[in-house]
Each structure stands twice: as C-alpha cells, then as structure tokens.
Amino acid sequence: MEIHDRFPKPIADLLQASKTAVKKKEYEASLSSANDALKAADKDNLTPSLVIGLLDYRHAIHVRMDNLEAALKDSKSMIRLDRKDARGYVRCGTVATLQGDNAAALKYFEHGLKNASASDPNLALLSIEAKKTRDRISADLVASRPRDPMTTLPIEIIEFILSYLDYRQHVQLLGVSRSWKKVLTAMPPLTDTLAFPRAAKPITPKLLLAALRRLKLPRDVKAKNLTQPAANILMDRLKSPHFRFVESLELDDQLDQLLYISPEVLGAWNLRKVTIGPRTAFQMPWVLKLLELCPLLEIGRFEKVCGFFDALTLSSKSLVELDITYAGNSIPPEIVLNLPRISKLRLARFGGLTTSLSTPLDFQQLKELEDLNLHYCGLSNILLPPQIKHLAMTACRFFNEGQDVSIVYPPLDNLETLNILDSRVVAADRAPWPQFIRQASIKTKPRTLTSLSLTQDPPARPGNRVQMLDIAWFLGVTSLRIEGPDIKDEHSPNVIRSCPRLETLYIKDAAITGVFVSDLIEVLGSQLRSFTLDNCAKVSRDVVTWAKERGVQVEYITVNESLGGRRIREQH
C-alpha cells in the first residue's frame, strides 16, 4: 500500500520527503520531516496503528544515526499506544540487542509473546528473535564459566573423542591439567602401548621409566631411538612376566641384549607381530626357534639375519606375512618353506650377483601365497603357485636356469602385478625372461595381468626391453613402467601393439622424443590418461602441453646436476 493511500496528503508528503533524504544520507533533514509528520498526526487524530507506523519509521532513522536512546524511547511509545501490537516489542528488543544487553532484549521479546495479539503478523518474528537471544545468552554463559570436559563428559564420549588421537598426542595432552592426566593415564594407548613416535631427541632412561610406569597391561612395544642405558633397562624389563600379554614387538635400535632373551621367553607371550630392524643382527637359529614357539605369530619381519647352515627350513603354522633379509657370508644350498598360512613373503639377499641357491626355490606348496617379493637373490629356479597375484623381483640373478627340462611350470592366471627390476638370466643365450615366465606367458590367459614394471641391468640385447613386451599375456596391462637408453621412438609400435589397454605409463632414462609420446596418444582407441617422463631429456616440454590438451596428465621429471643430481618434478 502506497504512503498516500495510508496517510493524509500533508503527512504523506512529509514521509516521502523524509525517505528521499534518507536515500541521500541526509539524516538530519529526514529526521526533521519525520518529526513534522508526527506533529501533524497529533492534529489529525490518526489511529494508534498509523501513529505506531510513524514512530517505527522515526525509530529506524534514530538507529541509522546511532542514537539508540531516542530509538528506545520511540519503541516504548509504540508499546504504550497499543500493547497488543508486536512492533513495539520487536523494536525495543532490537535496540537492547544493539546496546549489548541480551537479558533486557529477551524480556522485551517475551513480553511481546505474552501480550501481542495472536493474529499479529510480527508474532513469528518475535519468536525467532527470542530464540536467537536465548542462544546468545547461553553461549555467553558457557564462555564466561568454562568447565573441563574431562570432568563433565561421560567416559564413553571421552574415549570416542580420544580414539582419533595418536599415541604422541596422548602424551602431549598429559600436561593440560590433573584431570586430563588422570583420565589419559587410565586408558589406552598409554596403558597398553610403549612407544616414542617422532621423538626429536634420543630417549633417556627418565623418559623410558615414565612411560613404563604408565603401562598396566602392555600389548604393543615399539623401541626406537633409545640411548644405550635406556635400551639396557628395556631389555631387562622385557624378561618380566608383566609383558606376557604383548602382541606386537617392534625394535629398531641396536639392541644386542635382545639376543640374550631366549625365544622361550618370547614364545610365552601372545605375540602376533614381530619387527626387528637392521641395527641388530640375529642368528638364524634364534629366529627359527621364535617362529616355532609363537603359535599366534602372524607377521614377522627380520631385517638382519645371519648364520651358517647347510639347509634352511622356515616353518610356522600361523605366519601370514614374513620378511627376512639375510646378512650372512654363506648362503644355504636349499630353502624349505613350511608356511601353510603365508600370504605375503619377502626374501632378500639370499645369494647375489655371483652365487645362488643350488636347488629351485619351491613355493608351490604355499596354497595361500598371493604376494611374493624377492630382492637381491641368486636363484637356480623358482616354482610358483598358481594363485599368486603379485610378484616382484629386484636385482635377482638366475643361474643354471632352465637346465632341468622335466620341470612343468604352471600358468599364472591370477597374476595381476609383475615387477622385474634390474634382474636377468645369467646364461649364454642371454634370454630375456626366466624360464618360468617364458612358459607362463604361453599358458596363461591374456588380459589377467594389469600392472607391469620392467627394467634390466644390463639389458639382454639392445632394444630388447620393449621387444620383450610382444607377448599375448600383456594385452590386459593398464599400468606399465619401462626404462633404459635403448628405448627409442621406433619402439612405440611395440608398446601400442602389446598393451592396447594402457592407461598409465612411466618411462625413464629413455632416448625418446615427442614422437614417441604423440604416437601413444594419437593412436586410435588410446586409453592413456597418465604419462610420466623421468629424465627423458629429448622430449620437449611443448609435447607435454600438447598432451595435456588431449586429456593426458603428464609428470615431467628432470635431474638437476647443479643441485647434486636432485630430481625436479613438474606437474602439467
């Protein structure tokens, strides 16, 4: 409804003049016109509702002029004119809020809710403002009277919140208050774990003893970066029956004292995981005895094992994962594996560049084995189980390989990942693949293998790295890594033909140019989405931008000799 329809013409003209002045930010002139309108209203005997409207308008001008006292006076006048009209209560509460008096504002809003007419259109606004004000009062009260959550929250809530924090954060929180320390030292992980993650300084006996005092039922022990006196204390404590419930033991320091703890002591524990780093050398008989005496052990990692023996039998009925790095001077002629539950196995440094196991390494009896990793091993041959899914051989050498023609190699229909890195056959014919791979490539169904990494040091024959891909077995490969200076532009057809479903390619130290890149991207039906060029100096960066425009993400890695050979990564 227009102003002239609601008010007599003289009053309407004054209101219009006031509004025009407000738009020009001439508030004094606007206020003068509003005052004149109210004086005219007294003479014309307007209804209370219309006068309240005029006061409401002048109230808004006072607020804009930051004259809150005058605005509050007009708001109270609105209430006196008609106690059932909600507008006066809303304006009083608004002014009180602007004055920072939330309690007074809430009183005005509540009086309005009590007295205003049920049909008043501003009743809902009163209710909303009252709720907002109550919330502000509650927030101010909480801020002014803070309470320690450790003394107010239920223990279940505290445990749930603290479960998102790691061991180090629990230790840091001990200094917050006595109540925090009381709660934290009565619950995991401080009561069942001994650890010093990311310690900036070596762990002294004082720090170790403080952590030991917090232990009530130790289940997880991780020793790293201990001083020698602290290590002596820990090794002495490990002999105590107090540690018989330990399930995980991880030692990464030089803890020669551990050698004097008999496997029988550790066998009485509930050990499920053992990890011993490379700074402590263990005799193989000690490790074998431990595997035999721990019926619950599922994960074993021993990074420095030595000893002299004629034959080696690794036996455990419970092991699921085993990692052994051999550091002895002589290698066993034969390794027997009696590990019925093993699913992940890593053997390192059994043999090497010039020596090998004299008998084939037979994994066929390991019915659960899915992940096999051989590192720096000298082998005569290996026999794989058909269910193997992941196979990695790094710096391995095959001696006398393939001499036993009676061996029947199974197809590897379940193999998904094959990594043959810097490994080769030591034979007169310089065969590119070990015999078990050659036979598997003939028998295995295509498209089962999805990830292939292939490097040779030195290559079997120039260019042979890529020519080795011409096997039907590799038709399903989606991720490929190849490297070597013998890879050139002329080999792009080999990659296209051998890996038509290729999505990710990592190529390193290759003598390729942008032609190789464009061949793989522009070929009809190309699915390539990610391309990494590592030290491929002949490839221009223009090709990198060109590839990005065609939906291929490119990572360009260069070697900066001025920075000591540091590798510089660029994402495009």
**8 A C-beta contact, residue 539 and residue 570:** no
Q: What is the Cα–Cα distance from 341 to 370, expressed in whole angstroms?
A: 11
For the stretch 467-512, pLDDT in tens is 667 778 888 899 999 888 888 888 888 888 888 999 999 999 888 9
Residue 232 has pLDDT above 70, yes or no: yes
The model's confidence at residue 175, banded by pLDDT at 50, 70 and 90, is: confident
Structure tokens at 163: 């479960």
The model's confidence at residue 298, banded by pLDDT at 50, 70 and 90, is: very high
Residue 402 has pLDDT above 60, yes or no: no
Question: Which CATH topology does 448-462+470-572 take?
Answer: 3.80.10
Average pLDDT on 103-130 reads: 91
> Could you tell me which of 173, 182, 211, 217 has the C-alpha nearest to residue 194?
211
- The pLDDT assigned to 529 comes to 92
End-to-end Cα spacing for the chain: 62
> Could you tell me which of 466, 502, 496, 504 has the C-alpha nearest to residue 484?
466
**Residue of 143 and 457 predicted with greater confidence:** 143
Residue 199 has pLDDT above 90, yes or no: no
The model's confidence at residue 401, banded by pLDDT at 50, 70 and 90, is: low
**Residue of 342 and 175 predicted with greater confidence:** 342
Q: What angle do CA 306, 311, 312 make, to 5 degrees?
A: 60
How far is CA 434 from its chain centroid? 38
Average pLDDT on 231-259 reads: 82
The model's confidence at residue 523, banded by pLDDT at 50, 70 and 90, is: confident
- The pLDDT assigned to 340 comes to 95
Phi/psi for 211 (5° steps) reads -70, -35
The full DSSP string for 82-118 is -TT-HHHHHHHHHHHHHTT-HHHHHHHHHHHHHHS-T
Average pLDDT on 86-96 reads: 92
Q: What is the Cα–Cα distance from 59 to 43, expressed in whole angstroms?
A: 21
**Residue of 405 and 219 predicted with greater confidence:** 219
Q: Out of 20-29, 348-357, 424-433, give the one with best mean pLDDT.
A: 20-29
Phi/psi for 466 (5° steps) reads -80, -35
Q: What is the Cα–Cα distance from 124 to 112, expressed in whole angstroms?
A: 11
**8 A C-beta contact, residue 234 and residue 223:** yes
Amino acid letter, residue 86: A
**8 A C-beta contact, residue 532 and residue 555:** yes
Residues 6+ apart with CB under 8 A from 349: 325, 326, 327, 375, 376, 377
Tokens 């490994």 appear where?
423
**Residue of 415 and 256 predicted with greater confidence:** 415
Rg (CA), the chain: 40
How far is CA 433 from its chain centroid? 38
- The pLDDT assigned to 310 comes to 72
State which H helix or E strand residue 155 sits in.
Answer: helix 155-162
Question: Which CATH topology does 3-144 take?
Answer: 1.25.40
Residue 274 has pLDDT above 60, yes or no: yes
Domain edges within the chain: 3-144, 321-327+336-444, 448-462+470-572
Q: Work out whether the CA dihedral 81, 84, 85, 86 comes out positive or negative.
A: positive
Q: Work out whether the CA dihedral 360, 374, 388, 508 comes out positive or negative.
A: negative
Q: What is the Cα–Cα distance from 277 to 280, expressed in whole angstroms?
A: 7
Q: What is the Cα–Cα distance from 286 to 258, expressed in whole angstroms?
A: 11
Whole-angstrom CA distances from 536 to 48, 203, 499, 565 are 88, 46, 21, 15
**Could you give the count of Cα atoms lying within 13 Å of 435 in the half-sphere of its Cβ?**
21
Q: What is the Cα–Cα distance from 103 to 105, expressed in whole angstroms?
A: 5
- The pLDDT assigned to 1 comes to 42
Residue 404 has pLDDT above 70, yes or no: no
Average pLDDT on 178-185 reads: 88
Q: What is the mean pLDDT of the chain?
A: 84
Q: Across-strand partners of 326?
A: 305
Q: What angle do CA 533, 549, 535 make, to 5 degrees?
A: 10
> Could you tell me which of 232, 253, 186 has the C-alpha nearest to residue 213?
186
